Amino acid sequence: MEDLVRSFNLLRRPETSPSGLPNHYVFGVRQIPLDQPSNMVLAVNPQSRFLFTDGPDKILSLPSVSARVEVVIRLLLEMFINGIDPENSLVTKEEPNELCRVGTCSAEESQILDESHTVLLEKFSEALGLNLAPLPQDVAPGDPSRCHGCRRMGENFSAPLWKCSACQQAWYHSQDCQRNQWKEHKPTCLANRAAPAPNQKASGPSMSSSNSKSIASAYYNKVAHLTAEGQALIRSLSLKYPPTRTAPEGLRKPLRRLVLAGKDTPENLKLLFGPNWSSQAKEYEDARMEVPIDPPRGSPSYAMNAYHDNGAPPSTPRPASDAEREKVAQIRGLQAKIRERVGAGKAPSWDDREAILLSFGPNWPEHLQTYMLATNTMDQGVQPR
C-alpha cells in the first residue's frame, strides 16, 4: 500500500482534465452479478461521463468497515495510477496539493454514477452474450424474488431460495450469502422476530434497553426507507434517507418531526422504528411533552430543537391529552422549585439536584425522569449552536 500511495502522490493534479473539463471524479462501490458475488469500484467524471473501473474484488461482504475501506483505497489508487495520464505523471511544484480533495458527492452525482454502472453492465452483457440487469443496492424485507445477500433474482439459481427461519423476512440461495449478509440483515432480523406470548418466557437473554434502542436506531437508518410508505413518510417530515443521507442519524430528530407534524401514530412509529418502537417510549414521551411546555430560549431543549427543527415542515401537533396536561403542571411546579433554589437562568448543580429529589422522600426515583425533563426545558443560559 505504501508504494501505491507514493506513486499516487507523484501524479499530476491539474485543475482540468485533458478534455478541458474540471478534474473531478465521483467514485463508489457497485455489485457485479457474477456466479460468485463480487464488487467493483467505479470513478466517473460527472460532466464527460468518462469512466474508470477496477476490480472485481470482495468488498461489501467483508466483516468490518476498515477492511472494506482498505480494499476500496487500494483499488482507487491503482485505478488513478494506471488510468490517468500515465506518460506524464510527475507532479510539478506549481500544482497545489489542495486540488486533491475527497468529499461527499451530491444526489445528482450519485445518480450519474448509477447510470454509468448501468451502461457498463449493458456493454458487459453484450460482450459476453449475457442478460445482466443492474442489481438493486437494497432488497426490501419480505421480498421473496431475490437473494437478499447477492441481490440476484431467484430464477437464476437451480434450487429455490430458502427463508431466514428467525424473521421470515429474507431469502438466500446459499449459506455463504446468508453469512456474508448477516451484519446488514441483523437489525431487520431482530426487529421482525415474533415476540413471545405474555405467559411464555423468551428464549435466550432478555433484550436490554440499550440493545432495544440500537435496534430501533438501526431500523430507522437501514430499513425504514426500503418501503414506499417509509420513504413517503420520511420525505413528508423533510428528512433524508440513504443514499442522499450518507451518515447515520439519531432518533431524536425523526421523533420530534413526527410529533410536530401530528403524525406520531403507532403505525407511523412502527414504520420508522420497527416493531420494537416502544423501546423509545421515554424519548417519545419527552418529545410529546416538549410541545406544550414550549422550552424557552436558554434551555438545553431549545438549543437542541433549534438545530433539529431547521428545515422542518410547519408545526401541526396533535393536542395534548388530559394526562399530558397534568404532567405539564407537575413540571411547571418542579421548575418553580428549582428556580427558587438556584435562581433564574442558572443551571442546578449536582448538590441542588440531590436536595430537590430527596425532598420527595423515599419514592424520589419516581421523580427523576420528570426532574430531567424539567431542567432540560428551563432557561439555563444555554446558547444554540
pLDDT at 160: 76
pLDDT at 340: 93
Gap between the Cα atoms of 122 and 127, Å rounded = 9
Number of H helices, E strands in the chain: 14, 5
Q: How confident is the model at residue 126 (pLDDT cuts 50, 70, 90)?
A: low
Look at residue 124 and tell me whether its pLDDT is greater than 70: no
Cβ-Cβ contacts under 8 Å for 184 (sequence gap 6 or more):
222
pLDDT at 246: 60
Beta bridge partners of 54: 41
Q: What distance lies between CA 289 and its chain's CA centroid?
A: 26
Cβ-Cβ contacts under 8 Å for 109 (sequence gap 6 or more):
26, 46
Gap between the Cα atoms of 302 and 152, Å rounded = 48
- C-alpha distance across the termini of the chain, in Å: 41
| 379, amino acid identity | D
Gap between the Cα atoms of 264 and 266, Å rounded = 7
Share of the chain above pLDDT 70, in %: 73
Q: How confident is the model at residue 94 (pLDDT cuts 50, 70, 90)?
A: very low
The pLDDT tens digits for 20-54 are 667 788 888 877 655 455 778 888 888 777 777 77
Look at residue 144 and tell me whether its pLDDT is greater than 70: yes
Burial class of residue 129 in the structure, from the number of CB atoms within 10 Å of its CB (0-12 exposed, 13-18 middle, 19+ buried): exposed
Look at residue 86 and tell me whether its pLDDT is greater than 70: no
pLDDT at 247: 64
Average pLDDT of 152-166?
A: 73
Domain ranges of the chain: 2-128, 136-193, 210-308, 322-376
